[in-house]
Amino acid sequence: MDDLPPQKSHRAIGRAAGLNPDLRFDRFHVEAVDDGWEHEEELPVLRTEVTDEVARSVISRNSSPDLSFDRSINPYRGCEHGCIYCYARPSHAFLGLSPGLDFETKLIAKPNAAAQLEKELSNRRYVPKIIAIGTNTDAYQPIEKKREIMRDVLKVLSAFNHPVGIVTKGTLIARDIDILAQMAEKGLVRVGISITTLDPKLSRLMEPRVPAPAARLRIVRQLTDAGIPVRVMVSPVVPALTDHELEAILVAAKAAGAVAASSIVLRLPREVSPLFQDWLETHFPDRAARVMGRVRELHGGRDYDPNFGTRMVGQGAWADILQQRFRLAAGKLGLDRSLPPLRTDLFAKPPQPGDQLSLL
């Protein structure tokens, strides 16, 4: 007898992943089967769940040679934005949660992040370098509106005059322009806004809970008008699906006030590849084989190339053409500039109650 399709236990409205794959660390796997009973009642909607974590440290370190930073902060684990291509999905497996729907719906917040950050920055041995935020999961995802953990983190960084680079797709960053503008005046902050496509329908499919592309372009303008330097990141470039928009995104970014641009090709590490392929087959079955063929061409015949130096730009003739297109378009628009380094010389622990005042 043929296997029956598994019964769904919920309606995943506004979610990108169609699967919730088992963890690669588990010895046992769960498989849903049809029990033979007809389910006539309406299935419940899959809701977002948030669990608090008391963070023992908040500054994460890395030694990756192709990254421009060696430390970062992630106020949240998991991301409700739910981008189907998100390379951070596999990190959820280390929490005992699936990189699929769990990554989008079972989130973990760090309510003590700001207090712990203040403690770590106050350490006498701490040496300031730029802290990156948003490089794993987005600090301005929807739950930040209520939790305000990112805003509290910014208040600490501002008090210490600590440099920070922020990457986001969330328009909620506009709420914090009051803090960011003051930091920008001191040369302490820059922001990267990621735009994958200008097509709102495609964006809704790929990035179901991310603000529309037009809304993100408006945020570029708001930040720029406030004196905050903004880089637009054409990321990720999805071959045979969004790559034709590369120049148009750069033109729109320039018109919105961006001062620089960058680009990264699609990466599909570990569980991201089957999740993305399932999404492709669901929404673009006519071009799924072509997209994955280009992806493998970019990554040496594999779904993903983990090697430093090539993992973000790809390799081969098609990768070279893509890079040439970006350089040409960015150069014409003046977006190929390097932003000045953020200042570290202003870093200082803010005065505390009871401190002796300086005579000078």
Residue 11 pairs in a beta bridge with 45
What digits encode the pLDDT tens for the residues 203-219?
999 999 999 999 999 99
Of 139, 197, 205, nearest to 172 by C-alpha is: 139
Q: Are 227 and 183 in contact (CB under 8 A)?
A: no
pLDDT at 2: 36
Q: How far is CA 105 from the centre of its chain?
A: 16
Contact 177, 145 (CB under 8 A): no
Angle 37-38-40 from CA coordinates, rounded to 5°: 140
| Res 321 pLDDT > 60 | yes
Residue 13's pLDDT band (cuts 50, 70, 90) = confident
d(CA 89, CA 268): 10
Give the position of tokens 């498989």: 31
Q: How far is 327 from 110, CA to CA, in rounded Å?
A: 39
How far apart CA 166 and CA 163 sit, in angstroms, is 10
Percent of the chain's residues with pLDDT above 90: 78
Tokens of 310: 């090539």
Q: What pTM was computed for the model?
A: 0.90
d(CA 241, CA 292): 10
pLDDT of residue 329: 98
Helical residues (DSSP H) of the chain, grouped into ranges: 101-105, 113-121, 144-147, 149-159, 177-185, 200-206, 213-225, 246-256, 272-283, 288-298, 317-333
- Give the Cα separation of 149 and 194 in Å (integer): 21
Instruction: Report residue 228: phi and psi, to 5°.
Output: -100, 120
CA distance 153 to 294: 40
Going by pLDDT thresholds of 50, 70 and 90, the confidence category of residue 293 is very high
Fold of domain 49-333: pyruvate-formate lyase- activating enzyme (3.80.30)
